């Protein structure tokens, strides 16, 4: 095979660019860290002011639980399954508590 033929086949293939995947993963990770920090700051502020925090807790635990659902589907480890279930249960409980408090 010639060099140009190999390059053309590589361009036509549907495989993802590893550099782009790395950037996507890294940016997602920074987004998660920013989300967590802002969520925690808002929870601390609301708690200090006597405002309800259950809505923020529901969002935080819902995000965490669903991210671990995906990790469990990929790796099939018991720890990911337990974390996913606990996160989703916590999200539902906090959401119900928030709705009941603000109804």
71: Cβ–Cβ under 8 A, 6 or more apart, which residues?
Answer: 80, 84
Q: How many domains does the chain have?
A: 1
* Whether the Cβ atoms of residue 35 and residue 62 lie closer than 8 Å to each other: no
Q: Among 61, 54, 60, which residue's Cα sits nearest to residue 89?
A: 61
At 2 the pLDDT is 77
Task: Provide block-wise average pLDDT over 10 residues at a time, the chain (103 residues).
Answer: 76 76 92 96 96 96 96 96 98 97 91
Question: What is the pTM assigned to this prediction?
Answer: 0.78
* pLDDT of 100: 95
Q: Could you write out the DSSP letters of every residue in 56-97?
A: HHHHHHHHHHHHHHHHHHHH--HHHHHHHHHHHHHHHHHHHH
Question: Which structural domain, as residue segments, surrounds residue 29?
Answer: 3-102
The phi, psi pair for 15, rounded to 5°, reads -70, 145
């Amino acid at each position: 095979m010639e060099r140009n033929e190999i390059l053309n086949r590589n361009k036509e293939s549907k495989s993802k660019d590893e550099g782009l995947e790395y950037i996507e993963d890294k940016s997602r990770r920074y987004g998660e860290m920013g989300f967590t920090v802002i969520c925690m700051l808002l929870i601390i502020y609301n708690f200090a002011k006597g405002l309800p925090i259950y809505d923020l807790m529901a969002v935080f635990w819902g995000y965490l639980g669903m991210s671990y659902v995906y990790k469990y589907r990929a790796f099939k480890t018991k720890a990911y399954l337990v974390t996913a279930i606990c996160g989703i249960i916590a999200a539902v409980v906090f959401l119900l508590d928030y709705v009941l408090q603000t109804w």
